[in-house]
Structure 1
Amino acid sequence: MKKYIVSTSIAAVLLLFNSCATNPVTGKRDIVLMSEEQEIALGAQSDPAVLAQFGLYEDKALQQFIQQKGQAMAAVSHRPELKYDFKVVDSPVINAFALPGGYVYFTRGIMAHFNNEAQFAGVLGHEIGHITARHSVQQQSKATLAQVGLIGAMVISPEIAQLGDVASQGLGLLFLKFGRDDERESDELGVEYSTKIGYDADEMADFFLTLQRQQAGSGQAIPDFLSTHPNPGDRYTKVHELAAAWKKKENLTNAKVARNDYLKRIDGLVYGEDPRQGFVENSVFYHPELKFRFPVPSGWGYQNTPQVFQMAPKDGSAMMNLMLVPGETLEAAAQALMQGFNLQPVESKSTTVNGLPALAIVADQQPQQQAQQQQQQQVIRTLTYLIRYGNNNYSLMGITTADNFDNYFQTFSSTMQSFAELKEADKLNRKPERIRIVTVPQTATLSQILQNNNIKQDRLEEFAILNGMELTDRVEKGTMVKVVSH
């Protein structure tokens, strides 16, 4: 027994030694449990899941812009040999994130809130910094990744989440919480990289203030690169100090800000939720392009992505989702759905939902044998209505434990039986808000300018934050500002 313990200890030490790698940024040895080849492969495998979850924003000029600036910055980074890929994804949430191996994503929401190229470049450098310093790899080596959460901050049991999240593979990487040291290091790298391609890194610190104001005003979640730092004031000061030092080091006397160039670039950008992809109003989900509607249960939260619409009560004890299922017939779609989620039908019947042919199926998912051995897990029971509408099969699936099923059956079934064709003209013709860049005709306060451009009183602070200004700021004639129109 003692000999076995000694042998095992030696093997563990050898494994630890072999798992060390030189950090490209610090030059020090890090403990990482994957090679660079594995890191690159992980990013490449996860990229399709990211695009499935968020969708690619359809603006060729904006995609070319982020690629061009990203590649220029990658070339001066500590890992220029990686094959980087930069994308703007179609999400209103204000965020930017990176996957191992060179994949960087900015939401259209964060693109809307930058007010010049230098702010954009600072955050771009920050995200590249997470990749060059291998922060994601280090974090994954410290702990097993959890699957992506379903409904924001809601807590949903892993068994239920397994059925609800159809694009989870690799997306846990997006939710890694980097430590303060990692964020501080990425701030430093963001300053370094953006300065090296000629931008004024002071602007990155100013953008942190925009994010703080936005979060305080709306209560929405903020990106990890802001939220993980305990003292934003210290961080703001530190970035300014770093920017001054790097300007001196690079002898950069005419650092670029490029405010007007950037604002022109985002003129027409979709702002906020895009109703064409579906929207919730007065507890009803409407989808103008696919022309259907159904209610959201009272008090339930929801999340809409290109792939799935999900709803759940706040306690996370159940959930419902809507998705498309391939199949020439409802029966073929039902078979694919049952197999895909490893469900065993308990009962099923043919029916109609507001004149549309449908199948109603109760089915169970038994815990896997391995899970049963590790801990006692409950049987998951589902109610699914498969509805044929147009040329599509719509699956509305309610998911909870077998013990809770009777409590949720009425909520599930009444929601599903309310699925119907969307006919209201005002919903079918709903258009998204888009950012419009206007030039101030005469000097005035920002508040006056916004009101003159039909921004309502209750949204003035929102647009002050969007412009990185205060409502009382005097804006000079000829200055460009952001407003919105349909």
Structure 2
Amino acid sequence: MTGTIRRTAAGLAAAALLAANAGCTTAPATGETIFTGGMGADQAKKIGARQHPQILRQFGGEYENRALTTYVSSVGELLAQTSEEPDKDWTFTVLDTPVPNAFALPGGYIYITRGLLAITENEAQLAGVLGHEIGHVTARHSAARYGGNVLGQVAGVAAGVFLGRAGAQAANVLGAVALSSYSRQQEFEADKLGVRYATRGGFQADGMAQLLERMQAKSELDAKLQGREPRDGFSLLATHPRTPERVREAMAAADKKPVQSPIVGRDVFLSKLDGMVYGHTAEQGFIRRHEFLHPKLKLAFEVPEAFRLFNSAERVLAFGPEDSVIIFDSGGPKASSDPVDHLQNQWTSGRRLSDVEEITVNGMPAATGSTRVNTQQGTRDARFVAIRYSPTQIYRFLFLTPPELTGRFNEDFRRTTHSFRKLTDAEAAELKPKRIQVHTVREGETVESLAERMPYPDFKLERFRVLNGLQPGDTLSPGEKVKLVAPGPGA
């Protein structure tokens, strides 16, 4: 029986591999034969449609501003009409996340985040990034990326055909590679195609190169804010690893037509951006100096002055001296309602903790304990705190410090723990997101004076320059438009 199953599985795997070898298509934009795992146009559309809701869930949903999303789609559709697939059913989506990124799924699904729109300066730059993503689709890069990952798992998937698991496993593969990097050659090709489509649409050709320069400046500022070396995370630089110089090389090699009086479209672009949410939303929570406030979850806490807060989809991080870190998150839907039980048996997986005790945090039952752990940054003292916010909700703090700093921060961490509180309905209602405000420069206003209006406690000048693509030494002229950040009430 076992031998029969093995022979059947082997036969299925071999058959699947033969089918994979035949699963190629010709890319409309390049004429090249691309392996896509047998993914044709109809299947690509179905895969994109299946993945689309997952992308929305992962990235905060579609940004709810009809005028802005319609505008972005209109630019995308114009470019798509200049491509080799004008009749494809293209879908352009603005994602409601502050993380700067853009990417494509098979079937013509193109995404750009409002975080990337915020540092974009004009319509030509928008056309550059949308044209680049269209190029990934018309060159079948997005389909090939999925095809390659599917090929790597063909044998495993084949064994599950009789049980109906192949589709589910393939879907998992597709989700896993949605934001994986393209090869350098694929990026070069997409850049050439993006320039082709942008110039066919009448736009200035170097929009993508300009935008990458802005992304590099944004990445460097983010690193400075966190006190670390620049790294790209899930930004555009991580998923599209290239430099402005490489983009300009692609521009020189691109099949593009000369454009008389190319479109830059700065004023129209900024008019559409005016009022757009900047940073996090009420569903994601807000940072106010050293305090984190979440109006939807109705909670707040404060970290020590030496730590800098950062918000992400899954957790809140605070970075401190010498790689000290505070991590705040939820215990999840299956967390025990008993803080001690959750602390010892769920969260730390039975790890031996010292100084375990029950405490009360602003009337909420809680438990704490400590241990020493090994991390990629070295040995750390770890203090765990689990707080029962409600009968069905546990929230947690993890404080990590180098052993020589633990004594120094013990009292600060105790204050952070006991700063955790529930927001009242009135407090929650007062918290609103920051927004982009387009400002016309007046006589006498300078980069420095306008930067002082940025609603942040530090790095005001650097933030203003990055937002507006300005270099040190750049000046402003009366009548010129710039982007400011307007604080929401209570922020």
TM-score interval (norm. to shorter): 0.5 to 0.7
Q: Is the 8 A contact 1:353 1:387 kept in 2?
A: no
**Does the Cα contact within 8 Å between 1:145 and 1:172 map onto a contact in 2?**
no
Give yes or no for contact 1:136–1:176 (8 Å, CA) kept in 2. no
Would you say the 8 A contact 2:452–2:460 is kept in 1?
A: no
The residue type equivalent to 2:130 in the other structure is: L
Q: What is aligned with 2:51?
A: 46
**Distance in 2, Cα, partners of 1:384 & 1:170:** 36
- In structure 1, the partner of 2:102 is 96
Q: For residues 112-164 of structure 1, what are the alpha-carbon distances to aligned partners after superposition, in whole Å with 9 as ceiling and x for unaligned?
A: 11111111011001111112222122123333699xxxxxxxxxxxxxxxxxx
Task: Read off the aligned partner of 1:48 and give its amino acid letter.
Answer: P
Matched with 1:155 is none
The Cα shift of 1:11 comes to: 5.3
- Number of equivalent positions: 410
**Residue of structure 2 equivalent to 1:70:** 76
Q: Distance in 2 between matches of 1:301 and 1:216?
A: 17
Q: Distance in 2 between matches of 1:394 and 1:28?
A: 54
Equivalent in the alignment of 1:246? 256
Specify which of 10, 34, 46 is matched with residue 30 of structure 1: 34
Matched, 1:460 2:467: no
Return closer, same or farther for 1:419/1:175 CA change in 2, 3 Å cut-off: same
Whether contact under 8 Å (2:187, 2:240) holds in the other structure is no
Change (3 A) 1:238 1:396: same
Distance 1:44 1:289 in 2: 30
Asked if the contact 1:34/1:137 (under 8 Å) is kept, the reply is no
What do residues 260-319 of structure 1 show as CA deviations (whole Å, max 9, x unaligned)? Answer: 1111111111222335631356776421233223678999997533xx54779999xx99
Task: Find the residue that maps to 2:330 and give its secondary structure.
Answer: strand
Quick one: structure 1 residues 104 and 395, their matched pair in 2 at CA, closer, same or farther if it must change by over 3 Å? farther
Match of 2:330 among 322, 325, 329: 322
Amino acid at match of 1:291: K
In structure 1, distance between residues paired with 2:123 and 2:173: 33
SS in 2 for 1:286: strand
State the alpha-carbon separation in 1 of the partners of residues 419 and 459 from structure 2.
34
SS of the aligned residue for 2:459 comes to helix
Cα gap change, 1:319/1:24 in structure 2, threshold over 3 Å: closer, same or farther?
farther
Tell me, yes or no, if the aligned pair for 1:99 and 1:173 is still in contact at 8 Å: no
Q: Offset at 1:432?
A: 2.5
Contact 2:34 2:140 in 1 (8 A): no
Task: Give the structure 1 partner of residue 296 of structure 2.
Answer: 289
AA aligned opposite 2:241? T
Counterparts of 1:261-410 in structure 2, within 5 Å, are 261-274=268-281, 277-280=284-287, 285-293=292-300, 304-305=312-313, 308-309=314-315, 321-322=329-330, 388=390, 393-394=392-393, 396=395
**Alignment match, 2:128:** 122
Aligned to 2:179: 175
Long gaps (5+) in structure 2: 1-6, 153-170, 224-229, 339-348, 350-358, 368-384, 399-414
Over 3 Å counting, the alpha-carbon distance change for 1:352 and 1:122 in structure 2 is same
Match of 2:375 in 1: none
Query: Counterpart of 1:98 in 2: which secondary structure?
Result: strand
Identity %: 34
Contact persistence 2:180–2:239 (CA under 8 A): no
Deviation string for 1:412-463 (max 9, x for gaps)? xx99998642249777634332211111223x68524524756777321221
- CA separation of 1:214/1:99 partners in 2, compared to 1, >3 Å: closer, same or farther? same
Provide the rounded CA distance (Å) in 1 between the counterparts of 2:471 and 2:445. 9
TM-score relative to the length of structure 2 = 0.67
1:58 aligns to what SS in structure 2?
coil
Q: 1:28 to 1:300 in 2, by over 3 A?
A: same
Partner in structure 2 of residue 404 of structure 1: none
- Are the equivalent residues in 2 in contact too, given 1:21–1:31 (CA < 8 A)? yes
Matched, 1:228 2:233: no
Alpha-carbon offset, residue 23 of structure 1: 1.8
Task: Please give the alpha-carbon distance, in whole angstroms, between the structure 2 residues aligned to 1:395 and 1:34.
Answer: 46
CA distance in 2, matches of 1:20, 1:449: 58
Pick one of 189, 195, 199 that aligns with 2:199: 195
Structure 1's 434 and 242: CA in aligned 2 closer, same or farther, altered over 3 A? farther
Query: What's the Cα RMSD here?
Result: 5.0
- What CA deviation, in whole Å up to 9, does each residue of 1:338-393 have, x standing for no partner? xxxxx9xxxxxxx998657x999xxxxxxxxxxxxxxxxxxxxxx9977548xxx5
Q: Is the Cα contact below 8 Å between 1:177 and 1:228 reproduced in 2?
A: yes
Residue of structure 1 equivalent to 2:450 = 450
Asked if 1:15 corresponds to 2:14, the answer is no
- Residue 372 of structure 1: aligned partner: none
Residue ranges of structure 1 left out of the alignment (5+ in a row): 147-166, 332-342, 344-350, 361-382, 400-413
Distance 1:451 1:201 in 2: 30
2:92 to 56, 69, 86: 86
AA paired with 1:228? P
Secondary structure, aligned partner of 2:257: helix
Is the 8 Å Cα contact of residues 206 and 236 (structure 1) preserved in structure 2? no
State the match for 2:157 in structure 1: none
Paired residues of 1:104 and 1:128 also in contact (CA < 8 A): yes
Q: Could you tell me whether the CA contact under 8 Å between 2:131 and 2:197 is conserved in 1?
A: yes
Distance 1:16 1:289 in 2: 48
Structure 1 length-normalised TM: 0.67
CA separation in 2, counterparts of 1:429 and 1:179?
Answer: 47
Instruction: Name the structure 1 match of 2:477.
Output: 476
Q: Could you tell me how far apart the structure 1 residues matched to 2:393 and 2:292 are?
A: 14
Q: Deviations over 1:69-94 (max 9, x none)?
A: 22222222223343221111111111
What amino acid maps onto 2:257 in structure 1? K
DSSP-derived class of the 1:484 partner: strand
CA drift of 1:258 comes to 0.9
For the residue of structure 1 that corresponds to 2:34, the secondary structure is strand
Q: Which amino acid aligns with 2:256?
A: W
